[in-house]
Structures are given as C-alpha cells and as structure tokens.
Structure 1
Amino acid sequence: MFHVGSGSLSRTMFPILVMIDQHQTLFKAAMNTETSRTEQTVTLRMEMTMCFPLLLLICSLCTAKLQTESDNHIIPLGDQTEAERREPTNAADQQQRCTQDIHAVLREMSASLAEQRVEIRHLQRENEVQAAQLREQKIEVEKLKQQLQAQTAGLISIKARTDVTENQVEALKRDGEAQTAELISIKARTDITENQVEALKRDGEAQTAELISIKARTDVTENQVEALKRDGEVKQVAFSASLLASGGGDIGPFNTHTLLVFRHVVTNIGNAYNPNTGFFTAPVRGAYHFEFYMYGHASHQSGAVLVKNGEHICNAYEHQPSSAASSSNGVTLLLEVGDVVYMRQWHHSRLFDNENHHITFSGHLLFTM
C-alpha cells in the first residue's frame, strides 16, 4: 500500500491507490493459483508491465507533492522578485501537466489492467484444463505406480526363482562335473577293457583259425573213417532167397513175362536185396556174381530170365514129358552204384515151389572197383 503526507494529494490519489490496491489483490490471487512455467513467464511479464507505469506514477506524485509544498511556502513580500512572482503561474501549469500525465498513465494502466484481466481469465481457463490434465496424469501416475509396484513384486519373485534356478544350475553343474570325471574314469577303464578285449579277440581269432584247421582235419579224418567203414561194410554184400515164404503151389502160366518176388530171405548181408520188390540194388561199383534155380512139373515148360536195369541178361528153361525137372544159370556182372538186378518168369511157363524151397535167387559182391 502507498502512503502520502499531504491531504490534498491524498484526495487526488485515493482513486489511484484504490485501483492499485485492487490490482495487487488480483495479482496476488493470480499468483496463489497453481502455475506452470508458462504462467510464471506471463506473471513476470505482468509485473514488468505494472511496475513501469507505477514507477512513473510515483515519480509524478512526488513531483506534484514537492510543487504543492513549494506553493504552500510563504515568501515575504519585500523579498519577492519578479521571477518569484511568476513562479505561482509556472507551478500551476506544472501541476496541471502533472495531473494530465497522471490521467494518461492511469488510462494506460486501466487498458493494460483490462488486457491483463482477460489474459488472467485465459490463464485461469488454461490452469483449469491443465489442472484436469494434471489430475488425470496423477491418476495415470498412480496406475503406473501400482503397475510398477506389481512389476517390482513380479521382478522380486522372478529374482527369487532365478536365484533358486541358479542354485539348481550350480548344483547340476557340480553334478555334471562329477559325472564328467566319472565318465573320464569309466572311459579310461573302458579303453583298457577294449584293449584287453581286442587282445582276447585276436587270441580268439587265432584259436578259431586253429579250431577251423583242426575241424577241417577232423572232417577229413572222419570222412576217411566213414569211407573206410563204408568200404568195410560194402565189401560184405551177399543175399539168398527162395520164391515162397510158406506153403506151396504153382506159379503161372502168364501171357507175358512176370516179375518174380523172392519172399523167403535166407541171407541178406548188406541189405542190398528188397524182399518186397524182388530188386537187388548195387550199393557200390564192383563185380557181382548171381545164380538162380527154377523148378517145374512134367508135361509143362518152366523157365525164368535174369534182368539188369530192364535188360535180359540170361535165362534158365526146361521142358520134360515125364517127372519134374529143374533148370539153373549164373552170371557175373559189373554193376554201378544203383544198378538193379531182378528175375522175371518166362511167359506161358509154370513154376512150382513149396516148403522145400526149390526156386532160389542168390548173389554176392566179388570185389569193388
């Protein structure tokens, strides 16, 4: 607040002081609101705009006050000069000009104050918008703060799990190192075992080769023994058989040559003769001797033929008008292994045999070749 000593000056300046006081009140109200950096800049500009006219006003008032005091000063009549007599007129002019200047300054201040009021209202609206934005930002900051707290808690949990995992990894690493050392030891022992196995394998291969050689020699020996055994067995081939195994009677006559099967086996060394088929099969290559005897009634022919592999070799035949008669024959043959020798009854002939075994077929190996 401004204070002046002269009463006339107080009356003159009272409206101005009231306006200045109102301006200060508005300025304080504007300063008490929340301001941003932009508001502070505008406020600084307002202060500069207000201070300059106020400074001019105060200077003018001081000049007017001094002039008034000089007017109130009483000068003795005898002491006045011509120049001093003219001073009241000059003082009145100066006071009038000062008043005009004051009014001009006041008009400028009123216009500036009106502009500043408008600007303050704009700033207030901007402040309200910024305050709403600030509240929203505070809410957003609070949400972000809560999210940050949740993330911090999550990070703490993750860090705890990470620490546990790191401990587990460290334990696994130690286990892995122990297992690696054990594997190295096992590998060393395995290498030694493999070397031993390789040596045993070589020994086994040598022994296997030796066993194969021994087996081959054994097989040769066994084959030789078997051959000698077969030779010994084959050299003992002989058989003898009669026509009927039991009973007696006539055989024939037949319109064609008919196979004779000697069923009663007397001897069959080597089992080369088959009493079921009547065939003798040569077991080895060699010289064989065969004999056969036939027997028949009088007044009817009787005869038989020795056959080798289907080929007639020799026969025995008889025909007498009275009493029974017999015929015989023999032959030595070179037989190959598997050759077959058997007997056939001559066609239209009749044979007789009984328990006396009149009809026989015999053969034996002379020697192998």
Structure 2
Amino acid sequence: MKGLVCLLLLLETFVCVVQHQVDGGLNDNEISQQLRSEDGGQNPPQTDTLRDEASTDSRQNYHLCFTDIHAALRELTATVTEQKINIRALETQLKEQQTFILEEINKKNDVILEEMNKKNAEMSNLTLSQVEGLRKENIEKEIAFSASLMQSGSGYIGPFTNEITLTYRKVFTNIGNAYNPNTGVFTAPLKGAYMFRISVYGHGPTAAAASIFKNGERVVLAYAGQPQRELNSSNGVVLILEVGDVVYVRLWPNTRIFDSDNNHSTFSGFLLFPLREQELCRM
C-alpha cells in the first residue's frame, strides 16, 4: 500500500509539471510579440502561421499527456482494487484461522478440565476412603477393659487345692469387647503391645495370691500373706500379643481373695499400640 501511495504522489507531481509547462508556455500574444521583435514587423502573415502552429502543438502535447495520465490512473485503480480484494480475502482467511484456533483451544481446555475433574473426583474418593480406613483402624485400636471379681455382694473365693481361672464379672469398661466376663478370658483382636494389671485383697492368716497367664503360661504373680488383718498385693505386665492370644488370671493354690462392693480385687488391660511385622522383627 505504501508503494501505491508513492506512485500516486509521483503521478500527481508529473501532472503538475506538465500543467505548468503547458500553462507556462508562450501564449498567443507572447508568440506574436516575439515574432514581431525578431522580424521587425516586416512579415505579419508568417507570424500568424507560427502562432497557429505553436498553439496546435501545445494542445496536442496537452491531450497526449493527459491521455497517458488517465491510462496510468486506470491501471493504478485496477491495481488498488485488486489489492483490496486480496486484503479482504486475507482478512477472511485470518478470521477463519482464528475461529479454528479458538475452537481447538476450547476443545483442549474442555478435555483438560474434564481430566482435572476426574482427578479431583478420584482424589476426593481416595481421601474419603482413607478417612474411612483410618476411622475403622482407630476403632480397632480402641481396646480396653476393667472388671472386679464380685458382681454384687461380698465374700471370699478359695482356697482350693488346685489353681482355678477367676472370672471377673463386674465389668466397668469393655471397649472392643475383647474381655469375656463369663469366662474371665481376654482375647487379643489384633497384634500389639498390651498392658495388664491385677490386684488381690484378703485377710490373714490365709494368703491372697493370683497370677496372670498368657496362653497357659504363668507370667507374673501378685502375692500377700501375714498372720492376721488385711493384706493386699498388685502386679502388672506388658505383653506382646498376636491375634487370638489369650490372657487370664488364676488363683494360687491354697489361697483366697476377697471382694465386695468396694471392688478390692480387679483385673484390667488395654492396648498400648498395635505392632506390624517389621516392628516385631526389630524387637
């Protein structure tokens, strides 16, 4: 477009120059005066002839010049029109390309958004699953019990010539239901470290004694004996239990223990923390 503008300016300048030459040429009077001065006024017919010929030549040059200018302008106009058509075609093509690019971008954005929504949904579901799993795991970890020997009233149990398993019937706490008050046996619901304690109470001269057993083996003993008056003892132990291991209390032979509404003789236990296989191997 800049080239076309420059060409138009050049043509306009050329027209002005030609017009100046035509307008600035000798007119009829000037030609006559010049001829008179040269010939001294002796040949008037020849002067008129020269004047007519000069005027005719000027008009012919003028018409030829403007004919060329009009042809150039027509050619330039055609070129400009063609350029305008090309520009419109380019603009249309650019708009089509822009529309296509925008559509492709929108499609890609839709795909990306859909994938992000799927990932967010998966993460949300995973988080909910993890929370539910942790909740269940924490519920499983809530294991604790405590019970007293006599459910009601007061009295002695023992002495017996052989050991017997004591059943602590008055249950204060039994979170996780791992303790059975009908049998006096605690069964481990999961692998872990557990704390157990017993307390025994009696009156002399008969001793009071009881032991904590794990899977049929004695672990610790609580024993108290004196000739008269009250006597009591307690003991505790931390045990590593596998799932299904059992812990219970047995009365020592030829001893007795006493209990009442004051709950003197008790058996308690709770989970300290669960254990995995790796943790057991390190131990």
The two structures have a TM-score, normalised by structure 1, of 0.39
Question: Residue 352 of structure 1: which of 247, 251, 258 is its match?
Answer: 258
Match of 1:300 in 2: 206
Q: Which runs of 5+ in 1 are unaligned?
A: 1-213
Q: Which runs of structure 2 are paired with 1:1-369 in the superposition (5 Å)?
A: 227-369=133-275
Distance verdict in 2 for CA 1:309–1:221, change over 3 Å? farther
Residue by residue over 1:311-354, the C-alpha shift from the partner in whole angstroms, topping out at 9 and shown as x without a partner, is 11111111111211101000001111111110000011111111
- Once superposed, what is the RMSD of the aligned Cα atoms? 2.2
- 2:204, 2:211 → 1: CA distance? 20
Partner AA of 1:327 in structure 2: S
Match of 1:20 in 2: none
Distance verdict in 2 for CA 1:223–1:252, change over 3 Å? farther
- 1:226, 1:283 → 2: CA distance? 19
- Residue 226 of structure 2 aligns to a residue whose secondary structure is coil
The two structures have a TM-score, normalised by structure 2, of 0.51
- 1:323, 1:230 → 2: CA distance? 50
- 1:300, 1:279 → 2: CA distance? 26
- In the TM superposition, what is the alpha-carbon distance from 1:230 to its structure 2 partner? 2.9
- In the TM superposition, what is the alpha-carbon distance from 1:229 to its structure 2 partner? 3.0
- In the TM superposition, what is the alpha-carbon distance from 1:228 to its structure 2 partner? 2.4
- In the TM superposition, what is the alpha-carbon distance from 1:227 to its structure 2 partner? 4.0
How high is the sequence identity, in percent, across the aligned residues?
54
Partner AA of 1:308 in structure 2: K
Choose between structure 1 and 2: higher strand proportion: 2
Distance verdict in 2 for CA 1:332–1:221, change over 3 Å? same
- 1:337, 1:225 → 2: CA distance? 24
- In the TM superposition, what is the alpha-carbon distance from 1:309 to its structure 2 partner? 0.8
Choose between structure 1 and 2: higher helix proportion: 1
Structure number with larger C-alpha Rg: 1
Partner AA of 2:134 in structure 1: L
- 2:215, 2:258 → 1: CA distance? 26
Partner AA of 1:250 in structure 2: Y
Q: Which runs of 5+ in 2 are unaligned?
A: 1-120, 276-283
- 2:156, 2:249 → 1: CA distance? 17
Residue by residue over 1:79-128, the C-alpha shift from the partner in whole angstroms, topping out at 9 and shown as x without a partner, is xxxxxxxxxxxxxxxxxxxxxxxxxxxxxxxxxxxxxxxxxxxxxxxxxx
Distance verdict in 2 for CA 1:286–1:359, change over 3 Å? same
- Residue 357 of structure 1 aligns to a residue whose secondary structure is coil
Residue by residue over 1:271-306, the C-alpha shift from the partner in whole angstroms, topping out at 9 and shown as x without a partner, is 111111111111111111111000111111110010
Partner AA of 1:334 in structure 2: I
- 1:339, 1:279 → 2: CA distance? 10
Match of 1:169 in 2: none
Match of 2:36 in 1: none
Partner AA of 1:306 in structure 2: I
- 1:318, 1:248 → 2: CA distance? 20
- In the TM superposition, what is the alpha-carbon distance from 1:270 to its structure 2 partner? 1.4
- 1:359, 1:225 → 2: CA distance? 41
Q: Return the structure number with greater relative CO, CA threshold 8 A, min gap 6.
A: 2
